[in-house]
Amino acid sequence: MPGFHKRWLNRMVTLFADCADILVDDLEAKSQNCGTGESVDMEERFSSVTLDIIGRAVFNYDFGSVTKESPVIKAVYRVLREAEHRSSSFIPYWNLPYANQWMGGQVEFTNDMALLDGILEGLINRAVSTRREATVEELEERDNEDDPSLLRFLIDMRGEDLSSRALRDDLMTMLIAGHETTAAMLTWTLFEFAQGDPGMLADVSAEVRSVMGSKSRPEYDDIEAMVKLRYALIEALRLYPEPPVLIRRARTEDNLPAGGTDLKGGVKILRGTDIFVSTWNLHRSPELWENPETFDPTRWERRFQNFGVEGWGGYQPEKISGLYPNEYASDFAFLPFGGGKRKCIGDQFAMMEATVTMAMVLNNFDFELIGTPEDVGMQTGATIHTMNGLNMKVQKRAPASENDPPPTSTGWWEKQHLDRGLNALGKPYSSEEEAAWDTQDRSVRNGVLKP
């Protein structure tokens, strides 16, 4: 199993990089026109590349949406908007007699679903026609270099019900939601980089270029080494959660902790109760986060505790496992991919995909926001998008060579910890003596004191 896992990770990273290479080439061509005043909508570009990644990784199909306009993207967005309308409507207008024939929005929705269903059916039928049934253990040992997709794995799995509606629905969810949420994470990360302290972006970029060196694409070990970049991506998911609301139904009666409600005995939940969890409010709560409205990726290296919130264990970075601080490290104050049995199964996939894409973009280009942050705007629904796109001026960077000196940090990242009386890693000093020696050492390095 460990050998299979490592092979799968490397294949996925290679696949992500293949798609990101096409994006890099496309941005390089567009950057030549940015000097004449043209801009690039990076939200649209990220949506295109993540759709191509989902197509390749899940279906072994190339949508080619980075290099040509894709009707699939437009259909996906219209389907999502309709789903948002339905979830907030008091009247099930879509169930009206012949609504899909005479209501304009429902006619369009029916056509879009037919398009997506047709694509999905064709991909499934293509995979079924070359099915080679095997056990899970045999599939893990199989070397599917030509088709490492999830669909290939599921189709070949012995005992899998290929006619199952659940299988088709899961694949449709991956197609529609699997690319849009990651695109939003990339979009808002670049947005915050563009409007934030230049030292922050300089430090993250220095990390990316130091880890990658003269390589044009990262490997899986490089993804693990890019801690600052991964924390910046996950910080964007804290401020702009995708989705901003989670809906759950209680299957049994339960009693939730009081938390910050001051309710004696906690919160009683009856069986069948629908619960709306606002991740937007949760992730921006001043009771759970230091400076919650500030984009600060360094926060993930520091502990945070509020004993005023009854029953909350606080955020503990030492509990991080995997590529991002999950719900357990924050005691469920941070739910970027949900939690429990209904948690998104693609969390590690999304983090790898986003890290590879952003690393290759930052390694090749500098970006400048066109207009003001207010011009970008925001609209919320099933996910959080810009109102007017993320229009950027793109400038190609000179490629790195083996003779180039390694990029150096500006010190911005460490300064966020030091300003809070912590050491450069965000940890408390073990003694006053250690703090004094560290302060003196930094003063010497900064030229304040003579050695």
Domains and CATH numbers, the chain: 2-418 (1.10.630.10)
- Give the position of tokens 């949420």: 181
Residue 320 has φ and ψ, to the nearest 5°, of -65, 130
pLDDT digits (tens, 9 = 90+) for 96-147: 888 888 888 889 999 998 988 888 888 888 888 877 877 767 666 666 666 7
Q: What is the pLDDT of residue 156?
A: 77
Locate 432 and state its tokens.
């006053």
Q: Which of 153, 161, 163 is nearest to 132 (CA)?
A: 153
Asked whether the CA dihedral 427, 430, 436, 442 is positive or negative, the reply is negative
pLDDT digits (tens, 9 = 90+) for 381-432: 778 999 999 999 999 988 777 677 777 888 999 999 999 999 999 999 876 6
* pLDDT at position 56 over 70: yes
Look up the pTM and report it: 0.87
CA distance 343 to 321: 16
Distance of CA 209 to the CA centre of its chain: 21
* Residue 243: cis peptide before it, omega within 30 degrees of 0: yes
Q: What is the pLDDT of residue 297?
A: 98
Q: Are 393 and 95 in contact (CB under 8 A)?
A: no
Residue 246 has φ and ψ, to the nearest 5°, of -110, 140
Q: Are 168 and 325 in contact (CB under 8 A)?
A: no
DSSP code at position 383: S
> What are the angstrom distances between the C-alpha of 273 and each of 50, 88, 248, 333?
35, 17, 8, 21
Name the residue type at position 115.
L
pLDDT digits (tens, 9 = 90+) for 243-299: 898 888 889 999 888 777 778 888 889 999 988 899 999 999 999 999 999 999 999
